[in-house]
Amino acid sequence: MRREITGFSNPTVKLLKSLRDKKHRKREGLFLAEGLRLLTDARACGRLPQMLVMATARDPHPLLDALEADVLASGGEVIVTSADILSKITGKDNPQGVAGVFAEFDTSLDRLDRSSAKIWLVAQALRDPGNLGTMLRTGDAVGAGGLILIDDCADPFSVEAVRASMGAVFTQGLAQAGWDDFLTWLRAGEGQLVAASLREAVPYRGAPYAAPCFVMVGNESRGLPEDYELACDLRVTMPMKGRADSLNAAVAAAVLAYEVLASLEG
């Protein structure tokens, strides 16, 4: 179905706007993704939005035409509205002319196939949605199987995290679990748990990485709890040549992931 919305008070506009809030996303089981490139990546991964929202003043594009046709063919809804209303929905002053509403994914550990990739990323208590999205993007770049979120992390389906992932939220496996559940799942099969640490750590270059390797980083300000680090199979350290005593969590994950990739493929 295709329809036009012209009023800010329309119930659909209110629903879509509410998806910027975690409470409402969880209640509806839906999340927003913005931009043609991101929606095209989702389509390439076999994920179509349940609802496609397009601004009337958008630039024409064959990929957008194809996306609209697929959404309609799948029984989805296409909504045409003003750029101002779309901006109100996304919370962004200059929306990219198109947004999609997707059903949230199953994020249970059991749906992950650890044998499908040599590298997996793990984040514990990561609070910044930008860092979370960046880790998803890094995972896509290194061919990781996905990102496992441990304990109380930022919402991976927030507009900010989805935007920062640059489409990787659709290409990467995604799971959420408490520490005890994750460790039980990990130890039930093959998997080396690696963390950047200062506790009895070896240099990150040349360390004995083994696939599947689960690269874990901790909270941006506190790092990993001591007992989490001690549960790792391997702890590695990265040199700090300047005055900084640590790297940003997402940056540390990227540096370490590329070193693991080089080791496993070397």
Q: How far apart, in whole angstroms, are the C-alpha atoms of residue 69 and residue 114?
A: 35
pLDDT given for residue 238 in this prediction:
85
pLDDT given for residue 254 in this prediction:
95
CB 19 within 8 A of CB 28: yes
Q: How confident is the chain (266 residues) per 10-residue block, as mean pLDDT?
A: 92 95 95 93 94 87 93 96 90 80 96 96 97 97 98 95 95 97 98 90 95 95 92 90 76 95 91
H-only helix segments in the chain: 11-18, 22-28, 36-44, 62-73, 83-90, 129-142, 159-164, 168-171, 179-187, 226-230, 249-265
What count of other Cβ atoms lies within 10 Å of the Cβ of residue 75? 9
pLDDT given for residue 170 in this prediction:
95
Superfamily (CATH H level) for 109-265: SPOUT methyltransferase, trefoil knot domain (3.40.1280.10)
pLDDT given for residue 179 in this prediction:
98
pLDDT given for residue 95 in this prediction:
62
Q: How far apart, in whole angstroms, are the C-alpha atoms of residue 151 and residue 70?
A: 37
- Tokens read off for 12: 């659909």
Which of the 8 DSSP states describes residue 43? H
**Is 235 exposed, middle or buried (CB count within 10 Å of its CB: 0-12, 13-18, 19+)?**
buried
Domain ranges of the chain: 2-103, 109-265
Span 2-103 CATH architecture: 2-Layer Sandwich (3.30)
Which residue has tokens 């499908």?
116
Identity at 213, one-letter amino acid code: C
CB 147 within 8 A of CB 174: yes
CB 63 within 8 A of CB 97: no
* Phi, psi (rounded to 5 degrees) for 81: -150, 180
pLDDT given for residue 245 in this prediction:
62
This model's pTM is above 0.95: no
